[in-house]
C-alpha cells in the first residue's frame, strides 16, 4: 500500500509517497508565487496551490503501481483565509499567516472584546496572523467581497475540497483561526457573532485521521488512480510535523529550528497559561498541545551568515566555537518582532555586551544561543502550568548543526533526539493517511512504530549550570529594551 502526504507550504507544495512500513518512496516539490500587493501584505492564489499539487501528484506517482495508492492527507500552512462564493469560485487571493495588515482588527479583538473573553471563547488571544482578524479586515475593507462569502476555509482544506468535494477542516488547523472553542472542539458561537459570519459558512469539523471523502471521479482519472482513494482530513503544519516526529500522546516535545522556531508539547490534558503566551490548540492525535512560536529562528543565523558575514560556509563559522556557556555577548532574536511569549511586533534584534576583545566567533555563538534562549522562554511558560518534558525531538534546517543541538540540549536541560526522517509535515500527513486507511489503530501507535530515533544529544551538568546563569541574564534584556523598541516603532 502507498500513501501520499501533501505539505502545502508558503513557497512550495512538497509531496511525499510512503509505504505502509513508513519508508519514503519518492518526494516531489512544486513552487508557486507569493504576492505582496502592499507593504506588509502577503497573499497567494489558491488555484496555484491546486494546479501545482496536481502536477506534483502526477510526477510523484510516475513509475509506481498506482493501484497501490490508498489514501492522501495534508499538512499545511496555518491561519490563511480562503473564501469561496456560491459558484465555488475563489473571491479574492488567500491572505496568509505572515500577512500583517490586521493590526487594527487584532487590537480591537484584544482590547475591546478583551483577551479574557477571547481566551474564554477560544483558549487563545488574537495575533495578527490568525484568521478571525482577517475576516474582520475583509468585512471592513472589502464589504462587497465579504457579502459574497459562501465558504470560509484554510489553505490545505481548499486542496481537500478540490480533490474530494468535501467542505471540511480538522481541529488542529481550526484551532489557529480564533473561531474554535479548542477545549470543547466546536465552533464558538460568540466568535462567529463577533466576526459577522454563520456556522453554515464554516467547514465540518473532523479529527485529523478521519476520512472526509474519496477522490472525485475526474481527479482520479487525471491522476490514473482508483476513485476509492480515501481523502483524510490532515493537520496544520506544526501538528503534522509533530506526528512526523512522533510528538504525540502525553508529554511529547518537539523543537523546530526552521525559518521560524517552535516549541511543541503534546498533552492529553487541556491547559492554558494565564497570559496566553503560548498557543493552546487541539492536536492531530485527538488530544491537545501547547505551542510557543518565535518568528525568527534559523532565519537569524541565515541573516547573520548571508547578509552580515557574507558566507555560505556555516560549518566553518561554527568550527572555532569551543567555549560554550562562557560567551559575554548576548543576542536578542527578534528580527521580525516576536510572538511567543512576548507578543510584541515592535521588538527587534540586538547584540549586547560586546567589548574590544569580542570576536567573530562570539557573535556567531551569541546568535545560536539567543535563539535557544528564546525557545527556553516558551519552555518556562509551559513549565509554569505543569508541562515539563525531559526530552525533545528536533527538526528543521537548524537541527543539522551539531553545535546548535548541543546548545539547545544544555540551555533547555533536555535530551535532544535526532530522527531518521526530516520531512516533518509531509511525513506526518502520510502517517495520518495510513491511520485513516486502517493500517494502524491510532495516530499514537503509527507515529511510535514508524518514527525512528538515530541519535541523542545529552545535556552536560556543568554546561547546564553555566547556561542557567546566562539565561537568567538574558531574561532581563527584553524588558529593559521593550520601551525603546516600542518608541522606535511608534
Are 316 and 171 part of one and the same domain? Answer: no
Which of 141-145, 288-292, 383-387, 431-435 shows the lowest mean pLDDT across its residues? Answer: 383-387
For residue 433, being part of any structural domain is answered with: no
Confidence of residue 185 (pLDDT cuts 50, 70, 90): very high
**Inter-CA distances, 164 with 171, 217, 229, 256, Å:** 19, 9, 10, 31
Beta bridge partners of 187: 180
Residue 251 has pLDDT above 80, yes or no: yes
Do 271 and 173 belong together in one domain?
no
Pair (58, 180) in one structural domain: yes
Give yes or no: residues 161 and 288 share one domain. Answer: no
**For residues 102 and 34, what is the distance between their CA atoms, to the nearest angstrom?**
18
Residue at which a domain ends, from 209, 233, 257: 233
Q: Is residue 402 part of a domain?
A: yes
Radius of gyration of the chain from Cα atoms? Answer: 22
The residue out of 233, 264, 282 marking a domain boundary is 233
> Taking 80 as the threshold, does the pLDDT of residue 14 lie above it?
yes
- The chain-wide mean pLDDT, for the chain, equals 95
The pLDDT confidence band at residue 11, using thresholds 50, 70 and 90, is confident
Same domain, 177 and 254: no
Tell me, yes or no, if 7 is annotated catalytic.
no
User: For residue 358, what are the domain limits?
Assistant: 249-424+452-490
Is residue 291 annotated as involved in ligand binding? no
The answer, yes or no, to whether residue 253 has pLDDT greater than 90, is yes
Q: What pLDDT, on the 0 to 100 scale, is given for residue 260?
A: 86
In a domain, 349, yes or no: yes
* CATH for 333: 3.30.420.40
CA distance 299 to 301: 5
Q: What is the model's pLDDT at position 490?
A: 62
Residue 241 lies in a domain: no
**pLDDT: which is higher, 324 or 395:** 324
Please indicate, yes or no, if residue 437 is contained in any of the structural domains.
Answer: no
pLDDT on residue 100: 84
Domain-embedded: residue 436: no
Model confidence band, residue 339 (pLDDT cutoffs 50, 70, 90)? confident
The verdict on 140 and 66 lying in the same domain is yes
Q: Are residues 32 and 86 part of one domain?
A: yes
In contact, 438 and 340? CB cutoff 8 Å: no
* Model confidence pLDDT, tens digit, residues 86-143: 999 999 999 998 888 998 999 999 999 999 999 999 999 998 889 999 999 999 999 9
Annotated active-site residue in 157, 237, 377, 417: 237
* Side-chain-side CA neighbours of residue 145 (13 Å): 20
One domain, residues 191 and 271: no
Write down the pLDDT at residue 288. Answer: 96
The average pLDDT across 315-339 equals 94
Q: Cα torsion for 194, 199, 204, 206, to the nearest 10°?
A: 40
Cα–Cα distance between 339 and 324 in angstroms, integer? Answer: 27
Within this chain, do residues 14 and 98 fall inside the same structural domain, yes or no?
yes
Residue 244 falls inside a structural domain: no
- 225 and 257 in one domain? no
Strand 279-282, strand 330-332: pairing: unpaired
| 98 Cβ contact partners less than 8 Å away, ≥ 6 residues apart | 10, 42, 129
From 187, 204, 233, give the residue that closes a domain: 233
CA atoms within 13 A on the CB side of 359: 10
Please check if 78 is assigned to a binding site.
yes
Residues 205 and 304 in one domain: no
Model confidence over 446-485: pLDDT tens digits?
Answer: 999 999 999 999 999 999 999 999 999 999 999 999 999 9
Q: What is the pTM of this model?
A: 0.91
* pLDDT in the model for residue 187: 98
pLDDT band at 17 (very low <50, low <70, confident <90, very high): very high
**166 and 54 in a common domain:** yes
The count of domains in the chain is: 2
In a domain, 26, yes or no: yes
pLDDT of 39 strictly over 90: no
Average pLDDT over residues 272-296: 92
Amino acid at each position: 500500500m502507498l500513501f501520499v502526504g501533501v505539505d502545502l507550504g508558503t513557497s512550495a507544495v512538497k509531496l511525499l509517497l510512503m509505504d505502509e512500513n513508513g519508508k519514503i518512496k519518492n518526494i516531489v516539490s512544486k513552487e508557486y508565487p507569493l504576492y505582496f500587493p502592499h507593504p506588509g501584505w502577503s497573499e497567494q492564489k489558491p488555484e496555484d496551490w491546486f494546479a501545482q499539487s496536481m502536477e506534483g501528484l502526477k510526477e510523484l506517482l510516475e513509475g509506481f503501481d498506482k493501484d497501490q495508492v490508498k489514501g492522501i492527507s495534508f499538512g499545511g500552512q496555518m491561519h490563511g483565509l480562503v473564501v469561496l462564493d456560491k459558484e465555488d469560485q475563489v473571491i479574492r487571493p488567500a491572505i496568509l499567516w505572515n500577512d500583517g495588515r490586521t493590526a487594527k482588527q487584532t487590537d480591537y479583538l484584544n482590547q475591546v472584546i478583551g483577551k479574557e473573553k477571547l481566551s474564554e471563547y477560544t483558549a487563545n488571544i488574537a495575533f495578527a496572523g490568525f484568521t478571525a482578524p482577517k475576516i474582520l479586515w475583509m468585512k471592513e475593507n472589502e464589504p462587497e467581497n465579504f457579502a459574497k462569502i459562501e465558504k470560509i476555509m484554510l489553505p490545505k482544506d481548499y486542496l481537500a475540497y478540490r480533490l474530494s468535494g468535501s467542505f471540511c477542516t480538522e481541529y488542529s488547523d481550526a484551532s489557529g483561526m480564533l473561531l474554535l472553542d479548542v477545549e470543547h472542539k466546536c465552533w464558538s458561537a460568540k466568535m462567529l457573532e463577533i466576526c459577522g459570519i454563520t456556522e453554515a459558512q464554516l467547514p465540518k469539523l473532523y479529527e485529523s485521521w478521519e476520512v472526509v471523502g474519496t477522490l472525485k471521479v475526474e481527479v482520479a482519472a487525471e491522476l490514473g488512480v482508483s476513485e476509492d482513494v480515501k481523502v483524510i482530513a490532515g493537520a496544520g503544519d506544526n501538528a503534522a510535523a509533530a506526528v512526523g516526529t512522533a510528538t504525540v500522546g502525553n508529554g511529547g516535545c518537539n523543537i523546530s529550528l526552521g525559518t521560524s522556531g517552535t516549541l511543541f508539547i503534546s498533552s492529553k490534558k487541556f491547559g492554558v497559561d494565564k497570559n496566553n503566551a503560548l498557543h493552546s490548540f487541539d492536536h492531530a492525535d485527538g488530544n491537545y498541545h501547547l505551542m510557543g512560536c518565535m518568528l525568527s529562528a534559523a532565519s537569524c543565523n541565515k541573516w547573520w551568515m548571508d547578509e552580515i558575514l557574507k558566507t555560505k560556509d556555516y560549518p566553518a563559522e561554527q568550527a572555532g566555537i569551543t567555549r560554550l556557556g562562557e560567551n559575554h555577548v548576548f543576542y536578542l532574536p527578534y528580527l521580525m518582532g516576536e510572538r511567543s511569549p512576548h507578543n510584541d511586533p515592535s521588538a527587534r534584534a540586538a547584540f549586547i555586551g560586546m567589548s574590544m576583545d569580542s570576536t567573530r566567533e562570539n557573535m556567531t555563538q551569541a546568535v545560536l544561543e539567543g535563539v535557544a534562549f528564546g525557545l527556553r522562554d516558551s519552555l518556562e511558560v509551559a513549565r509554569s502550568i505543569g508541562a515539563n518534558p525531559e526530552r525533545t525531538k528536533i527538526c528543521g534546517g537548524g537541527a543539522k548543526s551539531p553545535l546548535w543541538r548541543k546548545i539547545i540540549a544544555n540551555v533547555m536541560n533536555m535530551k535532544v533526539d535526532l530522527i531518521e526522517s526530516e520531512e516533518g509535515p509531509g511525513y506526518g500527513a502520510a502517517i495520518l493517511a495510513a491511520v485513516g486507511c486502517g493500517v494502524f489503530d491510532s495516530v499514537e501507535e503509527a507515529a511510535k512504530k514508524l518514527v525512528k530515533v538515530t541519535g541523542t544529544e545529552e545535556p552536560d551538568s556543568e554546561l547546564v549550570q553555566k547556561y542557567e546563569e546566562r539565561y537568567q541574564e538574558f531574561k532581563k534584556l527584553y524588558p529593559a529594551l521593550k520601551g525603546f523598541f516600542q518608541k522606535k516603532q511608534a
